[in-house]
Amino acid sequence: MVALVRNNNPFTVLVLFIYALVINYGALFNPQLPELVDGAFLYNIIVNFFTIVFFKSAFAFTFISVIMVVLQGLFLNSIANNNRIYNRPSYTVTFAYISLCALYTPFVQFSQPMLANWAVIFVIRAFFHLPHANKPRKIIYNTGFIVGMAALLHFPFVIIAALLIIAVVTLRPLNPGELMVAILGILTPIYFAAGMLFLFDVLFWMRGWVSLGINLPRSMASPVYFIGALSGVIILFAMGVYVLQHAVNRLNVYTRRGWTAIYIALFVLVLVALFTPFDVKAAWLILMPSLALIVGNIYYHEKNKAFSNFAFYFTLALVIFCKMTGV
């Protein structure tokens, strides 16, 4: 299987989808309906709509969530391949993303962070497209609009707006017009949402939308699971940084800037997760897109095949360990 994810073979997509179903068997066999969140009016509307569409089927929600994880992994993978941020195209990013999301069951359950992760991926895409875009304002506005929608779903994502503005300022020559386009894109969905709430005489919902908290890693039923999972992720992250440091000199200046932005994004996303209300179990899911890009680089270390093989089987062992010891 390690050779399969290294290759850019479309057949790999089917294998990775089956892999996602197998490693998330616990969530699929014990599905849960998503809970409504106080103040998150847009998320609650979406949940109520799909509850009707799925006839209150918890399995349907969980199955759609697993599919969403696979699609997000494929989207991340296409960003990596199209912008040549690795030495060659492969499906290692998709494999890394699916594996990381499988470490904690709430990560593959329908939730605000799962929906908002699309915004994280679009911002990462903007990191690599902005420096040489022919129509940068279109990319900036569309990305800002998606960030604004994510903030409506999950208020702490307002912090991501700062990340987009930093990207506009640092990845391109300073242009006040582009900066205003980014701010306009972020505010547009919030403005229209406020207008719709006003028309339906429920504008007071906006007060409940503003919600921050402290979301430190919660006490686990199994300390062995928590320590093992955290240690495993740190090891994978360190391996990814190690490989990237050896490959950075072969990357062009735009790709190096993109990688710098990803590291900055990882720090900002830690703040977003940290200030998420405690009752949101999947708060730390938003770190997975950035981590998957960093970790995805270790599965085909050209100078040391034993290293990449070890990384691959270590990832599988970590997933199995978390499934056996987790909650």
pLDDT in tens, 160-182: 888 888 888 877 777 888 889 99
The DSSP secondary structure of 65-115, one letter per residue, reads HHHHHHHHHHHHHHHHHHTT-SSS--SHHHHHHHHHHTTSGGGGS--HHHH
Alpha helices (runs of H) in the chain, residue ranges in sequence order: 2-6, 11-23, 25-29, 41-53, 58-82, 92-101, 112-129, 136-153, 158-171, 176-199, 205-209, 223-247, 253-274, 288-295, 305-325
The token pair at 176 is 């006040």
Q: 129, 50 in Cβ contact below 8 A? A: no
- The pLDDT, as a whole number, for residue 76 is 94
Q: How many C-beta neighbours within 10 Å does residue 21 have?
A: 14
CA R_g for the chain: 20
pLDDT in tens, 182-211: 999 999 999 999 999 889 888 888 877 877
Q: 324, 222 in Cβ contact below 8 A? A: no
Count the alpha carbons within 13 Å of 306 in the hemisphere toward its beta carbon: 0
327 pLDDT band, cuts 50/70/90, is low
Confidence check: pLDDT of 62 > 90: yes
Q: Name the residue among 66, 61, 67 with its Cα closest to residue 31.
A: 61
- The pLDDT, as a whole number, for residue 221 is 60
- The pLDDT, as a whole number, for residue 52 is 92
Q: State how far the Cα of 110 lies from the Cα of 102, in Å rounded to an integer.
A: 14
Cα–Cα distance list, 189 to 3, 149, 212, 233, 277 (Å): 44, 6, 20, 35, 22
**For the chain, domain boundaries:** 2-325
Q: State how far the Cα of 161 lies from the Cα of 149, in Å rounded to an integer.
A: 11
Q: State how far the Cα of 100 lies from the Cα of 318, in Å rounded to an integer.
A: 9
pTM for the structure as a whole: 0.91
Q: 323, 101 in Cβ contact below 8 A? A: no
Q: State how far the Cα of 258 lies from the Cα of 129, in Å rounded to an integer.
A: 9
- The pLDDT, as a whole number, for residue 1 is 65
Q: State how far the Cα of 297 lies from the Cα of 290, in Å rounded to an integer.
A: 12
Q: 160, 268 in Cβ contact below 8 A? A: yes
Better-predicted residue by pLDDT, 93 or 254: 93
218 pLDDT band, cuts 50/70/90, is low
